[in-house]
Amino acid sequence: MSESYAVLLVAVPILGSIVPLAGSLWHDRLGWPVAVGVSLAHLALAAGLAVEVFAAGTVVYELGGFEPPFGIVLVVDGISALVALLVGVVSAGVLAYARRAGPRGNSFYSLYLLLLAGLSGMTVTGDAFNLYVFLEITGLAAYALVATGDHGGAAVAALKYLIIGTVGASLYLLGVGYAFVATGTLNMADLAEKLAAVGYTSPLVLASFALVTVGFAVKVALFPLHTWQPDAYAEAPISVSVLISALVSTVAAYALARLVLSVYTVEFFAAVPTARTMLVGAAAISVVAGSVLAVSQTDIQRMLAYSSVSQFGLIVAAVGIANRAALVGAVVHLVGHAVMKGGLFATAGVVERTTGARSVDEYAGLAERAPLAAGCFAVLALAMVGVPPAVGFVGKWYIVVGAVEAQRWAVAAVLVVSTLLTLAYFARLVERMYFTEPAVDVGEPAGGVPTVPDGGRSVSTGMVAVVVAATVLAATLGFAASGIEALLEPTLAALGVI
């Protein structure tokens, strides 16, 4: 019974995504209730799956009854169960936010459910080509969601995202092609065995690893392949920014980790140390470059986008280090970053609606005008910097411990420096919010920034609740880290991680 949870996790949102569009024939406000129903069902399935996986071990579902390695399998282990649960929780939260914040209309909710299906599929699949299909479903839904912004800039950002994202996904497909030519299989578990048999130093295997990682680096938005991300996050409607900043890159980073650990395995890294060095090196560059770019931004949403480039550098570096502490850190930071970044975007949306502030300078004196939002923003920002005991601290702590254990001192140094760099762009904001007098012209933003009539559009209880919930989670989730470590123990052991 519980095996079918895995397939329902994907099937329920896909079927659900048809309902709002078809329902438009009769009723044009059907989207939200349908999305809530489907999203809660999805969350229940993800929770059931997590309970099953942590009680009884990995769940495997054979699609259509075809035996692996010939058929497609869905495989849910500890890491994928946690990511599926994260997808369920965050997407349900976004619904509470989007009811008032918009975008309205049935088509938005259809796209939302399609994105949910794509993300769930990427999380549970155990087949390399199936992953490509879900990657593209996620991508298509995300491009269309970005384009739901009500000015032309959203369409330009979405097209840029589409072209760069497609090249990334195509590179991944080419990488899968190389692996397929080398082994004749697409099943991840089977690939792992046959790639080892072909020999890790075979040019085909090396080329496939390079193409797969570069393809996913585009989707995760590592420097210098991140160029689609700031435009997409800044131009999309705020609910969409919350959704994609919290989930799309997160699940892509999970998929990269899954491929590195389950398909190429840690033995590949042992046999080809250059591959590991290049992956970790690229991630470390991304950490520094993302932070530097974030410091130089004036727009809050762009600053948060560049901050993601830096934080995902940390996660990919941890995947490259691939020892136990680093991987626990990667998972904790993956979950923590989703909560914190989604929460920061949600808070930025609330701030924009109540005060019209969009830029770093307009945040001056925010603590007086919007005390709750300013407080939440400050807590989330400090959690992201890594102030103990917040989840941001715990994730980075594990990753640094992993880097030290692996004796990668340069990486450990970059990670520690990254905390200072994160402080550089968040501290100036906190300082402005609390200790700077607002400039005279605040409240009447310059042209281009949408002006807010009548002293602000309304902010619903749901929006505030989401912001507060994210803040509380960011502050307290860190205490769950040792529990997460214990839960991941069997999974990491099965992956051969020392």
Partner 1 sequence: MTAVVDLLLTRYNYVAVVLLLGIGVYMIGASENLVKKVIGMNVFQTGIFLFFMTSAFVTGGHVPIIKEGVERYVSPLPHVLILTAIVVGVSLTAVALALIVRIYAEYGTLQEDVLREIQTDE
* Span from 22-30, 45-53, 145-153, 341-349 in contact with partner 1 (CB under 8 A): 145-153
Burial of 44 (0-12, 13-18, 19+ CB in 10 A): middle
> What span, in angstroms and rounded, lies between the C-alpha atoms of 258 and 315?
13
* Span from 25-33, 162-170, 307-315, 404-412 in contact with partner 1 (CB under 8 A): 162-170
Residue 434 makes contact with partner 1 by CB under 8 A: no
Q: What is the CA radius of gyration of the chain?
A: 22
By beta-carbon proximity to partner 1, the closer residue of 86 and 144 is 144
Residue 129 makes contact with partner 1 by CB under 8 A: yes
Peptide bond into 103 cis (omega under 30): yes
By beta-carbon proximity to partner 1, the closer residue of 31 and 215 is 215
What SS3 state is found at 421? helix
* Span from 15-23, 25-33, 134-142, 313-321 in contact with partner 1 (CB under 8 A): 134-142
> What span, in angstroms and rounded, lies between the C-alpha atoms of 239 and 249?
16
Measured in whole angstroms, the distance separating CA 203 from the mean position of its chain's CA atoms is: 32
Residue 448 makes contact with partner 1 by CB under 8 A: yes
Indicate which single residue of 158, 280, 331, 360 sits in contact with partner 1 (rule: CB under 8 A).
158
Give the Cα-Cα-Cα angle 494, 89, 330 (nearest 5 degrees).
Answer: 40
Residue 153 makes contact with partner 1 by CB under 8 A: yes
* Span from 177-185, 328-336, 338-346, 381-389 in contact with partner 1 (CB under 8 A): 177-185
**Residue for token pair 């397929």:** 180
Contact call for residues 374 and 433 (beta carbons, < 8 A): yes
Residue 174 makes contact with partner 1 by CB under 8 A: yes
Peptide bond into 224 cis (omega under 30): yes
Indicate which single residue of 2, 58, 107, 170 sits in contact with partner 1 (rule: CB under 8 A).
170
By beta-carbon proximity to partner 1, the closer residue of 13 and 139 is 139
Question: What distance, in Å, lies between the first and last C-alpha atoms of the chain?
Answer: 33
Residue 186 makes contact with partner 1 by CB under 8 A: yes
Give the Cα-Cα-Cα angle 286, 246, 57 (nearest 5 degrees).
Answer: 100
Considering CB under 8 A, how many residues would be counted as binding partner 1?
30
Return the bridge partners of 60, or none.
Answer: 75
* Span from 8-16, 163-171, 307-315, 333-341 in contact with partner 1 (CB under 8 A): 163-171
Residue 196 makes contact with partner 1 by CB under 8 A: no
Given the rule CB under 8 A, which residues bind partner 1?
A: 129, 132-133, 136, 139-140, 143-144, 147, 151-153, 155-156, 158-159, 162-163, 166-167, 170, 173-174, 177, 180-181, 184, 186, 447-448
